[in-house]
Amino acid sequence: MKYDVRQLPLLSNEEIAHGIFDMRLAYRQDDLPVACGQFAHVYVPSKTLRRPISVCDASDGELRLVYQVKGAGTQIMSQMQPGSMVDVLGPLGHGFQIEKGRRYCLIGGGIGVPPMLLTAKQCEDPLIITGFRSKSLVILQEDFKALGETLLCTDDGSAGQKGFVTDLLRERIGEIDEVCACGPTPMLKAVAAVCREYGKPCQVSLEERMGCGVGACLVCAVKVRKNGEEIMQHVCKNGPVFQAEEVVF
């Protein structure tokens, strides 16, 4: 894989839900081919480490990153002004493998929802399940509805159905061939368990703290089982998307 760093002009950076921002960068797909589930390693001025953010969408000359303000780095990102340049390394990593002729269920939980948008664009008639803690954090519903049947649930019932994404998955799992999921680890674990129960393949996008972002520093380790043996792989290079049955959660 060829790597490069690019300065992308910031087009807009708007708050779309409480503490969640939608950053749009000018970009050309010819310069910067992006696959669904890949991430951008974003330079944050004054910080020693870049911040990994999944590609939410890439089309019409725009690269879209949707992120939640968590700590100092994403705080600084949220204050970047249109017209400034954003230093992006990537897109990096291996994303979701989408094959023709299969029906996918795409599951996003919380701030794991954004990468499912570009993924939904690659699928034929996907079933999309999005889950959030509560109404104030719900994002991207209109974008998803344009691409397929979209289900919404919240932990507290303040929007959509009350409950977890796995409840909705159980109701509909008979209709689909494979699951792709991104979200907090406990959610991914639960989704993977449901898929195993029903014998459906499942791809999960994992998070780990990163340094280089390209597979050189070995800090973003994840334990996976390959050919019966447990080995360490790396979220930035081998992932962020892994086959759920290989991940030692």
Partner 1 sequence: MADLSVKVAGVTFNNPLIAASGTFGFGREYGEFYPLSTLGGISCKGITLKRRDGNPPPRIAETPSGILNAVGLQNPGVDVFIREDLPWLKQQGTVVIANIAGNTVDEYCQMAEKLSETDVDMIELNISCPNVKSGGVQFGTSCESVENITAAVRKSCKKPLIVKLSPNVTDIASIAQAAEAAGADAISMINTLTGMRIDIHTRRPIIRNNTGGLSGAAVFPVAVRMVWQVANAVKLPIIGMGGISTWEDAAEMLMAGATALQIGTVLFSDPYAPVKINEGLNRFLDENNMTSVTDLTKTVIPW
Ligand X SMILES: Cc1cc2nc3c(=O)[nH]c(=O)nc-3n(C[C@H](O)[C@H](O)[C@H](O)COP(=O)(O)OP(=O)(O)OC[C@H]3O[C@@H](n4cnc5c(N)ncnc54)[C@H](O)[C@@H]3O)c2cc1C
Ligand Y SMILES: Cc1cc2nc3c(=O)[nH]c(=O)nc-3n(C[C@H](O)[C@H](O)[C@H](O)COP(=O)(O)O)c2cc1C
Binding region for ligand FES (CB under 6 A): 210-213, 215-220, 234, 236-237
- Distance (Å) of CA 211 to CA 39, 216, 217, 218, 237: 14, 9, 7, 8, 12
Q: Does 71 bind ligand X (CB under 6 A)?
A: yes
Residue 48: CB minimum distance to ligand FES, A: 13
Q: Which residue has the tokens 């509909």?
A: 172
Q: Which stretch binds ligand X (CB under 6 A): 50-58, 117-125, 163-171, 193-201?
A: 50-58
Q: Does 219 bind ligand Y (CB under 6 A)?
A: yes
Q: Does 51 bind ligand X (CB under 6 A)?
A: yes
Q: Does 52 bind ligand X (CB under 6 A)?
A: yes
Which residue in 193, 217, 232, 248 binds ligand Y (CB under 6 A)?
217
Q: Which is nearer to ligand X, 41 or 123 (CB)?
A: 41
CA dist., res. 55 & res. 39, Å (int): 5
CB 82 within 8 A of CB 210: no
Residue 46's CB is within 10 A of a number of other CB atoms, namely 7
User: 7: which 2 tokens?
Assistant: 């300065």
Q: Does 17 bind ligand Y (CB under 6 A)?
A: no
Query: CB-based contacts of 115: which residues, under 8 Å, 6+ apart?
Result: 36, 37, 39, 54, 55, 56, 95, 108, 182, 205
Q: Which is nearer to partner 1, 195 or 212 (CB)?
A: 212
Residue 3 interacting entry, from ligand FES, ligand X, partner 1, none, C-beta within 5 to 8 Å by type: partner 1
CA dist., res. 42 & res. 62, Å (int): 16
Residue 73: CB minimum distance to ligand Y, A: 18
Residues 163-222 that bind ligand X (CB under 6 A): 207-210
Residue 6: CB minimum distance to partner 1, A: 12
Residue 85: strand pairing partners: 9
CA dist., res. 203 & res. 245, Å (int): 8
Q: Which stretch binds ligand X (CB under 6 A): 27-35, 47-55, 121-129, 131-139?
A: 47-55
Q: Which DSSP helix (H) or strand (E) runs through 109? A: strand 104-109
Residue 49: CB minimum distance to ligand FES, A: 9
30, amino acid identity: D
Residue 212: CB minimum distance to ligand Y, A: 8
User: 106: which 2 tokens?
Assistant: 């795409």
Q: Which residues bind ligand X (CB under 6 A)?
A: 39, 49, 51-54, 66-68, 70-74, 111, 114, 207-210, 235, 240
Binding site for ligand Y (CB under 6 A): 211, 217, 219
